[in-house]
């Protein structure tokens, strides 16, 4: 199963129901997606733009985003439709996890997901930790030194997001995925890069073993699974793969 996490944040342009204890896992062959949103401050007090983001939970790759003037189900539907088409998602392989906002629970989104054969899950009420991947992505965005206090207009917000998401996908070395870029993991390049790192570290150790006082150096491990509410029962976790 693939898992995406969806979200919204206040910004805007296109780039490209669970129970009380919902759990979703993903292995490298199948990825959940996350879909949340966040607000971005506009030029005047009480003005905002809305940033919608769809994130692959396993690779952390942003598969789609949009900055809009408002939040509604039709805008969320259009972004999801675009992302699933670009990623060539086939029926019954994808789970879309989202928070409980009105756009994510709107009928146009529900009907679209049913037509696409996409399973949908939602965060539990008042449980922000059900969407940690999207929250982490938004925090990275807003804690970057170039993130402005306010955006001059929606085009300013879109231009900033365009630069950020390119950097995040293709240049950012993510600590949660073995210091790989999301693009490298998403497109299957990570194993070769991991092996190359190992060769470099082996050569460094052979040349100067005295510099490594404890053990020979090894590259960070690559992830094998990603979870939202990982079960404590190891058998249940294995069955979800």
Determine the pLDDT at residue 87. Answer: 85
For residue 237, pLDDT over 70 is answered with no
Determine the pLDDT at residue 241. Answer: 54
- What angle separates helix 73-86 from helix 107-116, to the nearest 10 degrees? 20
Determine the pLDDT at residue 59. Answer: 94
- Nearest C-alpha neighbor of 30 from the set 99, 81, 87: 87
Per the listing, tokens 């990825």 go with 31
Question: pLDDT tens-digit profile of 189-225?
Answer: 999 999 999 999 999 999 999 999 889 999 999 999 8
Domains of the chain: 2-177+224-240 (3.30.420.10)
Q: Assess contact for 170 and 94: CB atoms under 8 A.
A: no
Q: Assess contact for 31 and 109: CB atoms under 8 A.
A: no
- Mean pLDDT within 106-115: 70
For residue 5, pLDDT over 90 is answered with no
48-56/32-41 β-pairing: antiparallel
Question: pLDDT tens-digit profile of 10-22?
Answer: 333 345 423 333 3
More confident residue, 22 or 56: 56
Element (H, E) at 56: strand 48-56
């Amino acid at each position: 199963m693939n898992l995406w996490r969806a979200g919204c944040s206040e910004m805007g342009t296109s780039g490209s129901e669970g129970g009380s204890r919902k759990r979703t896992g993903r292995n490298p062959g199948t990825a959940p997606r996350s879909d949340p949103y966040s607000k971005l401050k506009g030029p005047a007090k009480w003005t905002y733009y809305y940033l919608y983001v769809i994130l692959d939970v396993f690779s952390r790759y942003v598969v789609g985003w949009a900055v809009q003037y408002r939040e509604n189900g039709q805008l969320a539907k259009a972004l999801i439709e675009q992302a699933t088409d670009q990623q060539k998602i086939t029926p019954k392989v994808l789970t879309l996890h989202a928070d409980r906002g009105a756009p994510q629970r709107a009928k146009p989104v529900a009907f679209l997901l049913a037509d696409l054969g996409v399973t949908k899950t939602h965060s539990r009420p008042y449980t922000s930790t059900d969407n940690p991947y999207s929250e982490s992505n938004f925090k990275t965005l807003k804690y970057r030194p170039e993130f402005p206090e306010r955006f001059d207009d929606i085009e300013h917000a879109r231009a900033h997001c365009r630069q950020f998401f390119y950097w995040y996908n293709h240049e950012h070395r993510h600590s949660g995925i073995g210091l790989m870029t999301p693009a490298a993991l998403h497109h299957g390049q990570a194993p070769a890069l991991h092996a190359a790192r190992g060769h470099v570290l082996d050569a460094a150790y052979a040349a100067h073993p005295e510099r490594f006082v404890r053990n020979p150096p090894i590259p960070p491990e690559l992830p094998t699974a990603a979870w939202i509410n990982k079960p404590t029962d190891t058998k249940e976790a294995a069955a979800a793969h």
